[in-house]
Amino acid sequence: QQQVKQSPQSLIVQKGGISIINCAYENTAFDYFPWYQQFPGKGPALLIAIRPDVSEKKEGRFTISFNKSAKQFSLHIMDSQPGDSATYFCAASSDYGTASKLTFGTGTRLQVTL
């Protein structure tokens, strides 16, 4: 059962445009929602994360919007650059003991064209 649904699967955006990736979750126990960026052949790296007590978080050109009632959250990349071309994963976690079990979306391959 896929608990975090991510869309679109791939995205092409022109340089300077806005990239938007959406995720929806089912488990209301999730309390931490990170976005990871992965370049080919590398491990994912944390980009930005949010907790459900806020509706938006911004770090530089990256913004997470969170809608608790709809159980949805999205990543917005403003002024997209070719260097942003990568695969982006949303994730969600809930506690199990003291570790954080992340459930990942299926990923969005972003290509930013010149």
Partner 1 sequence: DGGITQSPKYLFRKEGQNVTLSCEQNLNHDAMYWYRQDPGQGLRLIYYSQIVNDFQKGDIAEGYSVSREKKESFPLTVTSAQKNPTAFYLCASSLTRDRGENNEQFFGPGTRLTVL
DSSP letter assigned to residue 9? S
Of the pair 34, 62, the CB lying nearest partner 1 is at: 34
Window 67 to 106, contacts with partner 1 (CB under 8 A): 89, 93, 95-106
Residue with tokens 């491990």: 43
Binding mask of the shown chain, residues 20 to 49, with x at each position contacting partner 1 by CB under 8 A: ------------x-x-x----xxxxxx--x
Query: Closest by alpha carbon to 47, among 56, 58, 55?
Result: 58
Sheet containing strand 56-59, strands side by side: 4-7, 19-25, 72-77, 62-67, 56-59
SS3 of residue 71 by DSSP: coil
When asked if residue 59 is in the footprint of partner 1 (CB under 8 A), the reply is no
- Number of residues interacting with partner 1: please give it, by CB under 8 A: 27
Using CB under 8 A, list all residues that contact partner 1: 6, 9, 32, 34, 36, 41-46, 49, 89, 93, 95-107
